[in-house]
Amino acid sequence: MQCAFEGTWYCTSCRNNAPIALQSCIGCKTDRPRGTTCRSCREDIPLAGVVSAGAYSNHALQRGIAWLKFKGVRKIAEPIGGLLISKLPLIAPLDELSKRAVLVPIPLHKRKFQHRGFNQSEDIARVISTICNIELAPILVRTKATHSQAKLPHDQRSHNVLNAFALSCSQAEFETLAAKKPIIILVDDVTTTGATLIAAARALPPISERKIFGAVVARG
């Protein structure tokens, strides 16, 4: 599928004909209109919910993510980020998020960052931060050079990212941030099993009254 009718990766016709993005529990995949994690899955999953702009089966989203991630077309982070902004009110109203939320991009390992030259998740998060006035805080580092999740069977993905993330700030600094911004939104380009988001959430120290959400462009 090729679409550059209006000089963009995602023309008006594609937008109008795109399937409605259905939100679901990141654990059991049951439909959840606001993308919240169901009660039974919350026992094992530290995410309050995950919202997405659409399904990875959407060819336009696949193409946009590929252009950004693998071809280095970094300008595409702006329209992609815009699509994700439209789903953030499922977490809370945007004016509330600007006061009480912080965006935490999923980090790349330093070797992959050096090879690629940028972190696509941080580019997307930066667009959201600029447009919505939500604080951007890259407070996680990737401590393990993991295999690409997309190339692994689903049952191996959790082990692949086990203990792959750590705080890049002190716990005291994190506690100060979380006291001011109790809604933490982990931003990534794609999720399928949720393993990466869950591993990143587990790297954040537990603090009462804090909620962690995921926000991704596409769900597989």
Specify whether the CB–CB gap between 204 and 168 falls below 8 A: no
Q: Where are the domains of the chain?
A: 21-55+77-219
pLDDT in tens, 58-67: 888 888 899 9
Specify whether the CB–CB gap between 123 and 68 falls below 8 A: yes
**pTM of this prediction?**
0.90
In the predicted model, residues of the chain with pLDDT beneath 70 are: 1-20, 147-153, 155-157, 159
Beta-sheet strands, E only, within 59-173: 101-105, 135-136, 140-142, 165-167
pLDDT in tens, 166-211: 999 999 999 999 999 999 999 999 999 999 999 999 999 988 889 9
Residue 162 DSSP code: T
